[in-house]
Amino acid sequence: MTTTRSSSSLIDEANSLIPGGVNSATRNIGYPYAFSRAEGAYLTDLDGRRYVDYHAAFGAILLGHSDERVNAAAAETLGQIDLVGLGTTELEVECARLVAELIPSVEMSITTMSGTESTFQAVRLARGVTGRKYLLKFQGCFHGWHDAVARNVASPADKLYQRDPLSSGILDDALDSTLVAEFNDLESVKELYERYPDQIAAVILEPVPHNVGALLPERSFLEGLREITRANGSVLIFDEVITGFRHAPGGYQQIVGVTPDLTTYGKSMGNGFAVAGMGGSAELMSQFSSAKGDVLLAGTFNGNPVSMAAAIETMKLISDPEVGFHDHVYRLGDRMRAGLREITERHSIPAVVTGIGSVFITYFLEGEVRGYKDLLRNNDRAYAMFHRRMTDAGFVMYPMTLKRNHISGAHTDADIDATLEAADEVLGAMAKEGVFA
Ligand SMILES: Cc1ncc(COP(=O)(O)O)c(C=O)c1O
């Protein structure tokens, strides 16, 4: 769409018609942020300014913006079929076949339109099949905005594991039916199992909690969760809405070799098209009301052809060795992390540069990072300032503390070089200003 409007005039009008001018609260982060184009690794705002994008629509973009191959698959489908809402289509079956082929825990799957719907369905299925009340989540993990999971993400110190809802309007019963443990700390999980014996329906986690940057899981922690849930008859849910497809074709479970009962995924599955899903064993998934069970499965837009076509093409591309998607983003990610480490060390900035594959972040703290508690030592002001100044310099890094950055299949070595050069300037200036003192 071509436009002659400026960012500020559009934002003014947006503010009068849309609450806060945006359709999702975290998009409201101040100037600039009215965009007219998104191509490859780049965004262009209404004022004609071009940015290298590491925000990647919160991780929904995997291959690069407006990928021609994915767009062509969607366009071809549009010419053939739109929403039918009866029976099934070849596209839905092909999508489910690919998901089962790629994700180790999945034999059968459903599609939804968002990660929130996927985790909602997974939690309800777990409660339905176990007949139990409690859900156990981890401090720092985000699983969408529905009542069962909308609590305890980036909590302040005085709210750790306490009731810390993300929203008003959630019934107390819903909030209190979700228990909160510490990531990478099996003891905190065991304590809750002791307190609520035979009452925990499911344990849900991001296998790498990316909603607070990147907490890298200890293998023994994930294996321990597998054992505890199995021994206690709970459903283990890996929420791979960010890690799925991004870190490996089969998600993080493929890397770590721990297989959950249910897996949720979304975001990058369709490289920016609205599509998500969840899956697991045929036995569990058959408990949906579409098969022999009584757990409601519904959704007008589930499995819609355009989303299916985009997902199929994206899954094929990222799992094709000849495309080499993961080799590319892991190599660039390693370069970025090494570069940021060198820069922070040279400027004597206390920092932990971490991440995995395409995801990189720089915590401003000393010592090691294992669980959410360690992130309370992060210099939030410096984190947000670094991201803001990088964005101002033309490299979009979401300007809020603990937000991660993503490299796509469209980023190049030259983008990484330019980003590191800008980071050197920004961090050098921040060090001189005493931000880290
Ligand atoms: C791990 C995780 N799960 C679920 C969700 C919810 O996905 P959606 O925004 O598509 O509803 C998100 C969104 O950020 C997420 O990061």
Tell me, rounded to whole angstroms, the distance of Cα 422 from its chain centroid.
Answer: 26
Ligand 1: centre distance to CA 356 (Å): 18
User: Could you write out the DSSP letters of every residue in 276-320?
Assistant: EEEEE-HHHHTTBTTTTS-B----TTTT-HHHHHHHHHHHHHHT-
Which of 27, 121, 143, 269 has most ligand 1 atoms within 8 Å of its beta carbon, as the pocket-test mutant?
A: 143
Atom of ligand 1 nearest to the CA of 206: 1
Domain harbouring 277, CATH code = 3.40.640.10
Verify that 308 and 214 share a domain, yes or no. Answer: yes
- Is residue 2 assigned to a domain? no
Ligand 1: centre distance to CA 119 (Å): 8
- Is residue 1 assigned to a domain? no
If residue 369 lies in a helix (H) or strand (E), which one and from where to where?
none
- Structural domain containing residue 291: 68-318
Shortest-distance Cα residue to atom 8 of ligand 1: 115
Verify that 183 and 279 share a domain, yes or no. Answer: yes
Verify that 300 and 367 share a domain, yes or no. Answer: no
Question: What global pTM score does this model have?
Answer: 0.97
- Ligand 1 neighbours, Cβ below 6 Å, are 58, 114-116, 119, 142-144, 206, 211, 239, 241-242, 266, 276
pLDDT at 2: 57
Ligand 1: centre distance to CA 307 (Å): 17
- Is residue 437 assigned to a domain? no
Q: Does residue 243 contact residue 207 with C-beta atoms inside 8 Å?
A: yes
**For each successive 10 residues of the chain (437 residues), what is the average pLDDT?**
78 93 88 87 95 97 98 96 96 98 98 98 98 98 98 96 97 97 98 98 98 98 98 98 98 98 97 98 98 97 98 98 98 98 98 98 97 97 98 96 98 98 98 96
Burial status of residue 319 (CB atoms within 10 A of its CB: 0-12, 13-18, 19 or more)? middle
Distance CA 53, CA 58 (A): 11
Verify that 163 and 287 share a domain, yes or no. Answer: yes
pLDDT at 5: 84
Domain harbouring 368, CATH code = 3.90.1150.10
Verify that 35 and 109 share a domain, yes or no. Answer: no
Verify that 124 and 263 share a domain, yes or no. Answer: yes
Which of 267, 301, 302 has most ligand 1 atoms within 8 Å of its beta carbon, as the pocket-test mutant?
A: 267
Ligand 1: centre distance to CA 25 (Å): 14
Which of 116, 146, 253 has most ligand 1 atoms within 8 Å of its beta carbon, as the pocket-test mutant?
A: 116
- Is residue 88 assigned to a domain? yes
Distance CA 42, CA 45 (A): 10
Distance CA 350, CA 58 (A): 26
Ligand 1: centre distance to CA 427 (Å): 31
If residue 30 lies in a helix (H) or strand (E), which one and from where to where?
none
Verify that 294 and 230 share a domain, yes or no. Answer: yes
Verify that 30 and 128 share a domain, yes or no. Answer: no
Verify that 334 and 194 share a domain, yes or no. Answer: no
**Cα torsion angle, 182, 188, 192, 197, sign:** positive
Ligand 1: centre distance to CA 182 (Å): 20
pLDDT at 30: 77
Ligand 1: centre distance to CA 135 (Å): 17
Distance CA 356, CA 154 (A): 20
**Cα torsion angle, 334, 106, 91, 293, sign:** negative
> Helical H runs in 28-110?
56-59, 68-78, 90-102
- Per the structure, the count of domains in the chain is 2
